[in-house]
Amino acid sequence: MNIDKYFMLSVILVLSISPASNAGEKNKTVAVEDKSSVYQWLSGTKVRQVTMSKQLFAEFTTSINQKSVLSKTFPNAVRVKGKGAAVKIWQVENIKDVPSTMRSIRSTDSDAKVSPVFYSESGQMMALPGNVLVQFNPGMSSSEIEKWCTENGYQIANANRKNMSYYEIQTGAGLDAIETANAIYNSGMVRVAEPNWWIEMHTK
- Looking at the DSSP bridge assignments, the partners of residue 134 are 167, 193
pLDDT of residue 25: 39
pLDDT of residue 68: 84
Whether residue 118 is found in the same domain as residue 139: no
61-70, pLDDT tens digit by residue? 876 667 788 8
Higher pLDDT, 9 or 105: 105
**Dihedral angle, C-alpha 81, 86, 87, 93, nearest 10 °:** 70
Whether residue 40 is found in the same domain as residue 135: yes
115-171, pLDDT tens digit by residue? 999 999 898 999 999 999 999 999 898 899 999 999 999 999 987 655 567 899 999
What would the DSSP string read from start to end of 125-184? Answer: EEE--S-EEEEEPTT--HHHHHHHHHHTT--EEEE-TTT---EEE---STHHHHHHHHHH
Whether residue 87 is found in the same domain as residue 32: no
Whether residue 72 is found in the same domain as residue 111: yes
Whether residue 59 is found in the same domain as residue 70: yes
Domain boundary among the residues 94, 123, 152 is at 123
Rounded to whole angstroms, the Cα distance separating 36 from 24 reads 34
Whether residue 116 is found in the same domain as residue 70: yes
> Looking at beta carbons, which pairs linking 105-112 to residues 24 or more positions away fall under 8 Å?
105/69, 105/70, 105/73, 106/172, 108/69, 108/72, 108/73, 109/69, 110/172, 112/59, 112/69, 112/173
DSSP helix/strand/coil, 101: helix
Q: Given 3-state DSSP classes, what are the helix, strand and coil percentages for the chain, each rounded to the nearest 5?
A: 20, 35, 45
Whether residue 12 is found in the same domain as residue 32: yes
Assess whether pLDDT exceeds 70 at residue 46: yes
pLDDT of residue 156: 94
81-113, pLDDT tens digit by residue? 876 678 899 999 888 888 888 888 888 887 889
Whether residue 81 is found in the same domain as residue 36: no
| Mean pLDDT lowest among 17-31, 69-83, 105-119 | 17-31
Domain boundary among the residues 108, 123, 138 is at 123
Assess whether pLDDT exceeds 60 at residue 28: no
pLDDT of residue 80: 87
pTM exceeds 0.85, yes or no: no
| Mean pLDDT lowest among 41-50, 111-120, 147-156, 192-201 | 41-50
Q: 177 — phi, psi (to 5°)?
A: -70, -45
Expressed as residue numbers, the domain containing 186 is 3-50+129-203
Residues 6+ apart with CB under 8 A from 201: 4, 5, 6, 7, 124
Domain boundary among the residues 100, 123, 146 is at 123
Whether residue 85 is found in the same domain as residue 138: no
pLDDT of residue 164: 60
Whether residue 147 is found in the same domain as residue 196: yes
Cβ burial, residue 42 (10 Å; 0-12/13-18/19+): buried
Whether residue 33 is found in the same domain as residue 98: no
pLDDT of residue 11: 32
Closest C-alpha to 200, from 93, 98, 115, 112 = 115
Higher pLDDT, 6 or 134: 134
pLDDT of residue 111: 80
Number of domains composing the chain: 2
Rounded to whole angstroms, the Cα distance separating 179 from 183 reads 6
Whether residue 11 is found in the same domain as residue 63: no
pLDDT of residue 18: 33
